[in-house]
Amino acid sequence: MANLTLAIDDETLQRARIRAIQHGTSVNELVRIYLERFAGDASGSMGQIAKLSEVWAGSSGPEGRTWTRDDLHDRG
């Protein structure tokens, strides 16, 4: 596996590290997944979706879901 050096401003990297930790992963893993997807990973889209689903645990945010199913379908 090759190593890659990136130039990223400190503030962006710090925010990325925090978000990665919140999702139980690393910035390195997120960049790897993104580049595989961008480059058209040979494992196909289902493999990519599976990888992303492992990294991004479903969440409605820190305050939880603030809408109901009826809200979504309100055509009022």
- 25-76 pLDDT, tens digit each: 999 999 998 888 888 755 566 666 667 666 666 666 666 667 777 777 776 5
> pTM score > 0.85 for this model?
no
- 16-28 pLDDT, tens digit each: 999 999 989 999 9
Parse the chain into domains and list their residue ranges.
10-57
Phi, psi of 52 (to 5 degrees): -65, -35
